[in-house]
Structure 1
Amino acid sequence: MNPHVGIAWQIGSTFGWGVYGTQLALGLTRRGRLPTLLESPGPLTLDGLEAVRLKPAMDFRPRLVELIQKQGEGPIICQFPVIHARGNNAELQFGRLSPRTRGTANHACIFFDRTTFSPEAIDQLNRFDSVIAGSAWNGAHLRDLGVRNVIDNIQGIDASRFHPAPRRGLLGDRFAIFSGGKIEHRKGQDIVAAAFRAFRQRHDDAVLVTSWHNAWPKAEGVRQIMASRIFDGANLLDAEGRINVRRWLSLNGVPEDSVIALPEIPNALLPPVIRECDVAIFPNRCEGGTNLVAMETLALGVPSLLSANTGHMDLLDRQIGFALVDQTPVPEASSNPDYDVWGESSVDEIVERLEAVYRNREAFREVALSHARLMEDLSWTRQIDRLMDHLDITDITPAR
């Protein structure tokens, strides 16, 4: 049996697809398989043992590049299975070589937040041996569209890092609210900002800790959030066209000393930062997957407020997280069916939930710790193993 399994997108440590790919690669090594990286890794932070596990894959990269270059612009034929990344309307995700690459079996891994798929996209998905949906609603929608061989397999968390542990007290006695995710309309940071502004007027000891980064400041989602009806986002970009979170919040009534805007941090270094927080909020309008950052705050035992829509339901249906139940249609839905399943969270509900946590921290913490215990079943180790079983990517030798 050929030990190789191809990963046709960029792995890394600072973005969702990259983390997924890195965990997939590590999972393959546990089965004695060689993750074959068709794209050069992005920024990657590994501990010593992870680096050892992935060293054969990194060492094989130059040889793989040489073989690909010999193909010119022609097809890349692999004598092993390949897993590809897809998004809205089956668009490529971080994998420019994927359209040219064909393995002995080809599997598409897909996360989408727009529900319209062209006939050509559906036909493309049906050419894969299987389609791995990142959430139950993604999977159900694909089946309704006529996509065959759909497998639901949600993301995981690194349970060795994301678990409850003592705090270091670095924020003193301030009430810390965490919000993470790429800043864009879909993720709802305008709702977070409006809710925090209102809450901060009640409690001047509140601090907002943000992990909001977006490598594409000119993207549609950034333009949309700057046109927010909920929070004035006109000043999100500075004079150089870069996203400036603290400036945006300050210019719209949030004191600068009440905001900690984190630099971009590798996934493995986030746990001790998030543990310092009292609550996390995710009023996301739509999630194609389960929202990796929300899964991680839940696994850390931080009380987490999740909008009750789309991919978040995979967590809320397991009784994990605190639901933001007031969900109204987004205005875009009136003219575009792509937004039919999106939900708009209520600023007032978020403020009242924050107030409840503020006044009952220990009680919420106890419930959050029960959520963390449930998250143990959704570790990357278990989720990747489940995926490998679905795809019949069997063990060759036990991990050594």
Structure 2
Amino acid sequence: MGSTRHAAQTETDKIFVEQFFGPGKGNGIKTSLLIAREVGASAYAMVDGDLVSVQPEWIDLLINPLYKDFDLVVPYYHRAKYDGVITNQLAYPLTRALYGVEVRQPIGGEFGMSRKLFLKLLTHPLFPGTFGIDIFITTVSACEGMHIVEADLGVKVHESTKKYTNPEETLVPMIRQVVGMMFELSKYYRDKIEAISVAESEPRTIERISPPGEQVKKPSDVAADKDALISAFKEKYHAKATYDKVPMSDELREKLDRITEEEQAAFRFPSDLWAKIVYDFAIAYNTDKEVLDTLSILLQGRFASFVVETESLTNEEAEKIVKDQVQLFEQYRSLLFAKTGIGIAFQKLYLQKLEEKYGNTLQIKRVERIGDDSMVQAFNALFNKNRGVDKIKKNITCDLEFS
């Protein structure tokens, strides 16, 4: 399987192999997984190639749980508040909101996998050749019933962290690949998302394991120049020639225009607006680079606002802002179905919940399609218990008939 050469003799054998399928992180992982399959490996661990903080105990933490009935070991890091831009603003909130699993670092780069899991990944039709591989591993595991555990790896330091202040160099290419994969997976696992949405249960908590003894848990600060970030966002937003191919309503454009016209000191890009934008773009995405490029510009605006919101906060205090944003992604999750309609299975589950809750006081004769924003809001209000039945009847104006 490709050309190999052996390194100097060590306690553990090393094999070097030329990457199959061309360049790309995902292709590199696929190459090693195929080798793991061929040699009959029962467990597999991977770490990012640009790590400068890897410790020997990391391998134990990534591998040992796989012999205790776990299928995926995901990393947990103690990170600076401005590290993990894509994770904090997109990957973490979407993973928790859509798939109901509390994985704090879904694109961490360090994973342990059981043979059951990596064989499943190798046969999956969406296996990516790019940076999308990390979110692919986490999402497939969450949706395919794999047992997941977090490993506390302490502080992660990698070369790419130093480049976050230049989003054009590092973040934008990653956004195209990571977010494109996230959106494709959300369409592939739509039925799973619908079931999670209607169940409205608490996110599945993940056990976390830690190494014995002391561990470094205070990360170095990651610099972020708020004025430079705001200026760069405004410039890119206004420089974009057209927004014709992206889901930008007149109302949304007006809100964004107002944001970009604010003075630096008053700049804010609210979390609730960001969550709604992400769901609109997820619906519109169809392997369209234009959608991802536009979202990458807006992500830079949201990150700039996050820096403004948290500049005086500790890492722990900034984490609360991240968690609050996750709740907004959960709150607006039903927008993912607002323009495309909610599936038949989803409709039946909603009707069942209505009957269980109200019995004969609220009888529904027919449901043709659930897709209007006012209807989505009304159903959410019903299950959040903050509106009465009469008000719900008044707000639902299409597709549903009450007796």
The answer to whether the superposition gives a TM-score over 0.5 is: no
Could you state the TM-score of these two structures normalised by the residue count of structure 2? 0.26
Instruction: Give the greater-gyration-radius structure (CA).
Output: 2
Question: Which one has the bigger strand percentage?
Answer: 1
Could you state the TM-score of these two structures normalised by the residue count of structure 1? 0.26
Question: Which one has the bigger helix percentage?
Answer: 2
